[in-house]
Amino acid sequence: MMPPEKLAACFALDLVAGDPEWFSFHPVRMMGKAIHHLETQARRIATSPAEEMIAGAAITALLAGGGCQLPSERVIAKQCSQQPKPA
């Protein structure tokens, strides 16, 4: 668990910096662009609500599971590699 003072510092930093529009390679901005692109493609292909649900689940799995694989997100990849392996 994160100490309260560290959490407060992170919250304050996020309020000040947020997701800067000038930094197009910010991880949150990159995820937003990826979601927008994949959702647009999925909506063109899906013909029913059930297919939209499946496409949404696939996008979620792709982005959540693939987040550690993107070369431009080295910080996240480093954090993922440092997590303890399940026994």
Neighbouring residues of 82: CB distance < 8 A, sequence distance ≥ 6? none
Residues 28-66 pLDDT 10s: 888 889 999 999 999 999 999 999 999 999 999 888 876
Average the pLDDT over each of 29-33, 35-39, 70-74, 79-83 and give the range with the smallest value.
70-74
Flag whether pLDDT at 80 surpasses 80: no
| 67 vs 15, higher pLDDT | 15
Q: What is the pLDDT of residue 13?
A: 87
Distance of alpha carbon 77 from alpha carbon 70, whole angstroms: 8
Cα 18–Cα 20–Cα 25 angle in degrees, nearest 5: 120
Q: What is the pLDDT of residue 67?
A: 59
Distance of alpha carbon 35 from alpha carbon 21, whole angstroms: 17
Model confidence pTM above 0.85: no
